[in-house]
A and B are shown apart, each in its own frame.
Chain A
Amino acid sequence: MRAGPLSNSEVIDLLNRYFVPVYSSDEDSSPRGHGAQQEKAAHIRIYQEASKKPFGAGAVYVFILNPDGEVIDAMDVAHANQNGALFGMLKGTIDKLHVTPGKPIITPSTQSRPPQHPADALVLHLVARGSLKAFPWREFPGENWILLSRSEWMSLLPRDVTPESTWNLSDALTRKILTDFYPPTEELDTTVDRNEIQTATLTAKPISRTGSILRVQLDGKLVMKRSFYASRPDNFMVNAALVGWIEFDTARTRITDFQIVTKRATYGAAKPEDFSAAIYSVPDSSLP
């Protein structure tokens, strides 16, 4: 849907001018979800109401409600993804309800955002892309936001570092940084961790110092089992060689840059696909 009708300019225009658009994840608002009770109650009410009507209901679905909250149309995503289907659904609703066009009720904004965090946290953004062509999960990149607390990012630089020093980042921190290095796969609940990390290492060594700026190179490896489908185990593996660097401002006691990327990486089993991933720090001033 995201790469299909929800990226279509005509559909976007209709949604903004005539509707109040909202999306919801089942891991928040379904009966088994972790979201607010009021939100879950609203989702369940809509689902149950739609179920009793000819258009039905489902977990991955599109629903149209009139301004009074009554469910007046619905469509499964497989159908909604077909050429022109969603546009037709929206246009039909606009004509039936005689909706007056206007500006978007909510100003469009970047939807990929880090969670709320303390001011001294290190905010890391990860982007991962696979290389398969014409595959549903390769239409756009997968992203993650990782927060390192002050004590975590301070532990990246040990005491008494010399030009000859070499050290490994802690196991726990390395796993936290690397666990999302995989191309998009099926997700049913992103709070469930189905990764089995077999090897995760990040080794650091100083490479230069300019004034108070210390630069450290990272070399790493990740071997991790991760099934493609959430409820169908398989033998898919991530195999990745990694390289990166961290920049410490020793005068201001802060990390000014943190970047790790895949040098070579594959995901799969018998015929693994190449993929790329990058994780990098984002200063608060640049956050959406």
Chain B
Amino acid sequence: MQRRYRSRVGVLMLTVAAVFSPSPTPATDTGRGDKDVPAWVRAKVESMQPTPEDRKFDEIGWTNSIVEAEKLARENHRPVFLFTQNGRIEIGRT
């Protein structure tokens, strides 16, 4: 099943390539898009990236679960610091 699906996908991609540009020219511009869009979008994506200040939270060595934290606390003779909250603090949806 997987092999047949892959070959159908391969035919689709070849169809697109053949219909789109039958000639061996290195680049084809349709003239339909704004030629600055990819660069503009890429620059905006770059500007939106979380900063080191946004990621300070990640400098803490967080354990994966309360159960694991309690186990590690016993083994390492350390207290547990537990912060409970609503939503997903690690992705800022909280």
The interface of chain A, by Cβ under 8 A from chain B, is 1-2, 6-7, 9, 12, 15-16, 18-27, 29-30, 36, 38-39, 42-43, 46, 59-69, 72, 77, 90, 93, 97, 99-100, 102, 104-112, 127, 129, 140-145, 154, 157, 159-164, 184, 186-190, 205-212, 214-215, 217, 243-245, 248, 250-251, 253, 259-261, 276-278, 280
Chain A residues with CB under 8 Å of B68's CB are 22
How many angstroms from the CA of A102 to the CA of B76 in the assembled complex? 10
How many angstroms from the CA of A243 to the CA of B42 in the assembled complex? 11
The interface of chain B, by Cβ under 8 A from chain A, is 6, 9-10, 12-17, 19-21, 26-30, 32-35, 37-38, 40-42, 44-45, 48-50, 53-70, 72-74, 76-94
On whether the beta carbons of B63 and A105 are closer than 8 Å, the reply is yes
How many angstroms from the CA of A22 to the CA of B86 in the assembled complex? 14
On whether the beta carbons of A20 and B20 are closer than 8 Å, the reply is no
* CB contact under 8 A between A207 and B29, given known A6-B60, A29-B66, A162-B20: yes
Chain B residues with CB under 8 Å of A145's CB are 91
How many angstroms from the CA of A190 to the CA of B38 in the assembled complex? 32
Partner of A141, one of B45, B54, B78, B79: B54
On whether the beta carbons of B86 and A21 are closer than 8 Å, the reply is no
From B59, B64, B70, B92, name the one whose CB has the most chain A CB atoms within 10 angstroms: B92
* CB contact under 8 A between A206 and B30, given known A60-B84, A161-B19: yes
How many angstroms from the CA of A210 to the CA of B35 in the assembled complex? 14
From A15, A29, A108, A112, name the one whose CB has the most chain B CB atoms within 10 angstroms: A112
On whether the beta carbons of B16 and A250 are closer than 8 Å, the reply is yes
How many angstroms from the CA of A1 to the CA of B25 in the assembled complex? 57
* CB contact under 8 A between A141 and B81, given known A21-B62, A22-B69, A187-B94: no
